[in-house]
C-alpha cells in the first residue's frame, strides 16, 4: 500500500502518499492509520518524519490524532485536501480571462461526460431546473438561481466527485470576480430568452446522449456568457442582445416557453 520514500523532504512525501491513498479509496474516513513505528518501517524513514507528517495532516484537517488510540482519517478529509487548491487559485488569479478559460475547459468536457453518463434521474433534474428558470422569470426574478442549478445538475451528471470539488473552487472565484456583472447580464434586453434557448440546446444534446454536440453547445453557451461578462467589464453590452438569432427556440413541452 505504501512505497519507500526517496526524497529530501521526507515528511512531505509521506503526506502525499496518505492523500493519494485517500483519493483512490484505499483509505476511507474513519480508517485507522498504521502506527508511527509501523509506517517508519514500511516507508524506510525515521519515526520523527512520520510524526512531522502526521502533525501536518492533522493541521490540514485530513486526520485526527487520538492519544492512546492512534491516527484516523477524518470524515471531511477530501474537502480538506482541496482547500489548498482553492487558496492557490485565489492568490494566483491575476487575469480574469484565465479564470474564464479554465471554466470553459472544464464545463465543456463536463457536458460531454454528462451526455455519456447521465441517468434518467439526472435528466429529470436538469429538466426541472429549466422549468424553474421559466417560473423565476414569470415571477419577476432574473432566473440566475435556476441557471446555477441547471449547471450543477450537469456537473453531478458527469458522476466525477473530483470535478465537483474543482468546479466548486472555480465557481466561487467566478462569483467573487464577476458577481455584479453576472447579475447584470440577466437584466439585459432579451438575454433571458437567449440564455433559456442556449440551456435547452445543451439539455437536448445531453438527453439525446450526444457528447460531441454537448461539447459544442456548452462551448457556444459559455463563449456567449464570457463575451457578455467582458463587455460589461469594459462598459456595457453592445451586440450580444442581437445574437439571439444564433440560438433556436427549443420548447421541451408545448407550454414550456417564456410568455410573449
Three cell numbers, residue 60? 490540514
Query: Which residue is listed with cell 520523527?
Result: 48
Q: Are the C-beta atoms of residues 193 and 242 closer than 8 Å to each other?
A: no
8 A C-beta contact, residue 100 and residue 226? yes
23 Cβ neighbours under 8 A, 6+ residues apart: 78, 81, 162
Q: Among 38-42, 81-85, 120-124, 125-129, which is the least confidently predicted range?
A: 81-85
Average pLDDT, the chain: 77
Please report the pLDDT score of residue 99 as a whole number: 74
pLDDT band at 226; cut points 50, 70, 90:
confident
Residue 141 pLDDT class (50, 70, 90 cuts): confident
Q: Which residue has the cell 417560473?
A: 135
- Strand ranges in 126-235 using DSSP code E only, listed in sequence order: none
User: So what's the pLDDT on residue 202?
Assistant: 97
Number of alpha carbons in the 13 Å side-chain half-sphere of residue 7 = 14
Position 246 pLDDT exceeds 60? no
Q: Give me the residue label for grid cell 479509496.
A: 25
169 vs 177, residue with greater confidence? 169
pLDDT tens, residue by residue, 60-119:
778 889 988 999 988 654 445 455 444 444 434 345 667 778 888 999 999 999 999 999
How many angstroms separate the CA atoms of 242 and 191, rounded?
Answer: 9
Q: C-alpha grid cell for residue 246?
A: 444564433
Q: What is the pLDDT of residue 259?
A: 29
* pLDDT one-digit tens code per residue, 157-176: 999 988 988 887 777 666 65
Tell me which H or E stretch contains 6: none
| Res 147 pLDDT > 80 | yes
Percent of the chain with pLDDT over 90: 30
Residue-range domains of the chain with CATH: 10-73 (1.10.10.10), 81-234 (1.20.120.530)
Nearest to 250 by CA among 212, 210, 195: 195
Secondary structure of residue 227 in the 3-state scheme: helix
Q: End-to-end CA distance of the chain, in Å?
A: 63
**DSSP element (H, E) containing 102:** helix 96-117
Which pLDDT band, with edges at 50, 70 and 90, does 225 fall under? confident
Q: Which of 22-31, 207-216, 228-237 has the highest mean pLDDT?
A: 207-216
Question: Quick one: CA torsion of 12, 15, 20, 26, rounded to 10 degrees?
Answer: 150
The pairing of strands 63-66 and 70-73 is: antiparallel
Confidence of residue 145 (pLDDT cuts 50, 70, 90): confident
Dist. CA 139–CA 214, nearest whole Å = 30
pLDDT at 194 over 90: no
Greater confidence (13 vs 232) lies with 13
Q: What is the pTM of this model?
A: 0.58
Question: Measured between alpha carbons, how far is 183 from 169 in angstroms, rounded to an integer?
Answer: 19
Calculate mean pLDDT across residues 143-147: 82
Amino acid at each position: 500500500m505504501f512505497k519507500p520514500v526517496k526524497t529530501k523532504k521526507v515528511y512531505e512525501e509521506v503526506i502525499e502518499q496518505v492523500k493519494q491513498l485517500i483519493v483512490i479509496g484505499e483509505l476511507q474516513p474513519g480508517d485507522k492509520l498504521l502506527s508511527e513505528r509501523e509506517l517508519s518501517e514500511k516507508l524506510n524513514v525515521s519515526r520523527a518524519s512520520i510524526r512531522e507528517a502526521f502533525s501536518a495532516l492533522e493541521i490540514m484537517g485530513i486526520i485526527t490524532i487520538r492519544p492512546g488510540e492512534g491516527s484516523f482519517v477524518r470524515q471531511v478529509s477530501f474537502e480538506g485536501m482541496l482547500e489548498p487548491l482553492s487558496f492557490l487559485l485565489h492568490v494566483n488569479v491575476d487575469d480574469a480571462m484565465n479564470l474564464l478559460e479554465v471554466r470553459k475547459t472544464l464545463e465543456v468536457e463536463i457536458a460531454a461526460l454528462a451526455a455519456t453518463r447521465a441517468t434518467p434521474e439526472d435528466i429529470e433534474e436538469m429538466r426541472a431546473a429549466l422549468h424553474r428558470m421559466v417560473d423565476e422569470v414569470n415571477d419577476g426574478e432574473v432566473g440566475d438561481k435556476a441557471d446555477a442549478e441547471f449547471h450543477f445538475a450537469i456537473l453531478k451528471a458527469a458522476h466525477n466527485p473530483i470535478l465537483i470539488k474543482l468546479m466548486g473552487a472555480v465557481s466561487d472565484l467566478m462569483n467573487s470576480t464577476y458577481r455584479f456583472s453576472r447579475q447584470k447580464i440577466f437584466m439585459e434586453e432579451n438575454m433571458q430568452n437567449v440564455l433559456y434557448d442556449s440551456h435547452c440546446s445543451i439539455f437536448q444534446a445531453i438527453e439525446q446522449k450526444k457528447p460531441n454536440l454537448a461539447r459544442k453547445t456548452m462551448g457556444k453557451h459559455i463563449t456567449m456568457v464570457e463575451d457578455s461578462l467582458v463587455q460589461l467589464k469594459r462598459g456595457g453590452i453592445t451586440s450580444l442582445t442581437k445574437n439571439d438569432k444564433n440560438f433556436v427556440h427549443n420548447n421541451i413541452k408545448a407550454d414550456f416557453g417564456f410568455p410573449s
